[in-house]
Structure 1
């Protein structure tokens, strides 16, 4: 191994979750449309409900992810909700926002604008990682838009983050993305994808060769986008900035303001959001319940969609909010 290859092996993968082949197959029967709103255009993925009259749901992905990250869960819940998943500005198939605002508040405003424009609210709102922080902010400032809140490993501030999460946070530092690019310039899309799966999955070996090939193809598509790295870095910076806000804009303070019944999902093998945060979140969200998945990583809705869907159905039964 050369000295260059040795240094490359220590570079951390950015937090990217390209969909696996399982998600691609689950995506059969989905629709993808473009919605133009003032200052932004959003790609919205939909899966027709199995029957008419089901309540609406909206799924919000995390940093570097896309609406496809929700395909498996959308399929599982097609008999329960009328689901749509949004590509946040600059991610998936959505172009960057006109104002270049990738803050948590900026992303939250995009979600709110979409819900207001389509009059789909109130919805059952789902969020993963950064999407969990965004969904928390939406539920706090616009409770009229949210029936229930389901958060999968939400990116809420931690005083002592895990070491494995630090490289992702460092993407927010000016110049870090350029440095990362130099350190990983020899990396193939296959290697980048393996790094991603190792970071985000509780058991990366569960991904089949077919799934892996589909993930590599999606990663290659994203790498070709001219704004790929910029949207990733600015959104990472937006999360870090959100962690430093105090007063009524503090994320934990907003969590305490959420009125909607809340399902919290945490993975025991999560390398990005510590499992110990489940206890604090359970206290902060006033009407909450916890689904703990010891074998799951950061994207439980992709690894264990059946378990997440089952817990959500229990939430609806117990809170009687599932009616249209």
Structure 2
């Protein structure tokens, strides 16, 4: 710690002397093992020890920031609400670590007694710490916190991601899901639709940055789509997709989250809220499936897609009210996305003709929808040619705590055609929670 010896003399700890080098990217100051295997980590301490741990972090940050030039980026600590347990985030520039408490009153403490660090979802407690050996344990003391800050500051700058549609690999039951994550705060899960070549990034690329200014945004590729694993025997049905979201919440340590579902994703959000009501905070349904309707020409075309640029262009023409949003370049990009290894085979197996049955398979019984206790925002484009606007009107009739917002001059792409209005509306609704 800083110790004044006179009005002019200050004694610096070894840690403080290393801070300037670490801030300049000098990794030679990091001599300890790398304790953290991912940016999401759980500190295994008893709850009553958590506040002492946080105080250690504040002490180390004060020492680090005292060594940085005025006007330089500071190391920060922010409490992270909405994770379902005590949690805070250490951050410097574009690097951060989220540290959450895992109460060790039970088996973990009995097994080892010491505090530990474990990367979430990577196995048993302790797998991600020590000198690279599984199960190694490390006391979460002042030295540990100093080492963590130095490692964070000295890490090489994160290169630009050439494939922004590929995020974090997160285990969700028997397979690994591709998950985009951004922001801090109360968690919000975004569930995409079911068009050919779709992914979380394709659906939510304009929404994620805006919501991440206030919330922790989590957007998975549902199994059968995007870059999530497609294991043999995977369930391409509503209960299977719901189970994937529940497993995602479990792996990330989230007791509950608000859920935003687009079209097919709305059906998943509805079933999740009906069957696991305690896991859902607020609900947003956009152009949602989930109640019965007569199959439209647009949805029949989308679900019956066979790969070609012309077929993709025809699908996209159904999505947008403003045809200016759909050009040959966009059609070519989505066409190439639909050709990713194994994607078309999975997609074709989900919705074979006759397709009216798949509308019905994505429905949640109306009595279960009417029993939903959640505050719900329902959004639809008045000119949607894929999912009829009457589906949202029916959902509004059924869900007692709901509000309906209908966008004029808007097709099935509310989050794209009216991106700013959509995100402002959703952000305002989520803030109320």
Q: Deviations over 1:184-222 (max 9, x none)?
A: 7xx4x3x33422320111212135x6xx53552342143
2:167 corresponds to 1:35: no
Contact 1:76–1:305 (CA<8 Å) still a contact in 2?
A: no
Q: Give the whole-Å Cα distance in 2 for the aligned partners of 1:144 and 1:233.
A: 34
1:202-221 aligned at under 5 Å gives the runs 202-207=321-326, 213=329, 216-221=332-337
In the alignment, structure 1 residue 66 sits paired with structure 2 residue 181: no
Q: Is contact 2:338-2:344 (8 Å) kept?
A: no
Once residues 206 and 219 of structure 2 are traced to their aligned partners in structure 1, the CA distance between those partners, rounded to angstroms, is 11
Residue 77 of structure 1, aligned match among 211, 214, 223: 211
Tell me the alpha carbon deviations over residues 28-55 of structure 1, each in whole angstroms, 9 at most, x when there is no partner.
98871111233221000112x2xx5x10
C-alpha separation in 1, matches of 2:352 and 2:421: 32
Give the Å deviation of 1:83.
0.5
SS in 2 for 1:308: helix
Q: Check conservation: 1:60, 1:135, Cα contact below 8 A.
A: yes
For 2:338, the equivalent position in structure 1 comes to 222
Structure 2 CA distance for partners of 1:235 and 1:259, relative to 1, 3 Å = farther
Corresponding residue for residue 7 of structure 1? none
The 8 Å contact of residues 260 and 283 in structure 2, kept in 1 or not, is answered as yes
Any unmatched runs of 5+ in structure 2? 1-159
> Aligned-pair distance for 1:135?
0.7
Aligned to 1:117: 251
**1:60-119 superposed Cα distances (whole Å, 9 cap, x missing partner):** 111132111112111121222110110011211112144221001111111111112212
**1:62 touches 1:128 (CA, 8 Å); kept in 2?**
yes
CA distance, structure 1, for counterparts of residue 364 and residue 357 of structure 2: 10
Shift of 1:167: 3.7
Give the superposed CA RMSD: 3.0
Match 1:296 to one of 393, 410, 417: 410
1:232 equivalent in structure 2 = 347
CA distance in 2, matches of 1:296, 1:229: 28
Report SS of the residue matched to 1:99: coil
Question: Hey, what does 1:147 align to over in structure 2?
Answer: 281
Q: 1:283 to 1:88 in 2, by over 3 A?
A: same
Alignment partners' CA distance in 2, 1:30 and 1:167: 25
Shift of 1:144: 1.4
2:294 touches 2:356 (CA, 8 Å); kept in 1?
no
| Deviation of 1:166 (Å) | 3.4
Structure 2 counterparts to residues 242-261 of structure 1, below 5 A:
243-244=359-360, 250-261=364-375
Number of residue pairs matched?
270
Cα distance in 2 for residues equivalent to 1:206 and 1:222:
19
Report the Cα distance in structure 1 between the residues aligned to 2:299 and 2:334, rounded to whole angstroms.
23
Aligned residue in 1 for 2:422: 308
Q: What corresponds to 1:128 in structure 2?
A: 262
**Conserved? CA contact 2:166–2:178, under 8 Å:** no
Q: CA deviation at 1:276?
A: 2.1
Contact preservation (8 Å) 1:242, 1:251: no
Kept in 1, the 8 Å contact 2:295–2:356? The answer is no
Query: Would you say the 8 A contact 1:243–1:251 is kept in 2?
Result: no
- In structure 1, list runs of 5 or more residues that go unmatched: 1-24, 172-179
Seen in structure 2, the aligned counterparts of structure 1 residues 101 and 204 have a Cα distance that, compared at 3 Å, is same
In 2: Cα distance, 1:123 partner to 1:79 partner: 17
The structure-2 alpha-carbon separation of the partners of 1:129 and 1:245, relative to structure 1 and needing over 3 Å to count, comes to closer
Could you say which structure has the larger radius of gyration? 2
Q: Which has the higher contact order (CA 8 A, sep 6+)?
A: 1
State the partner residue of 1:262: 376
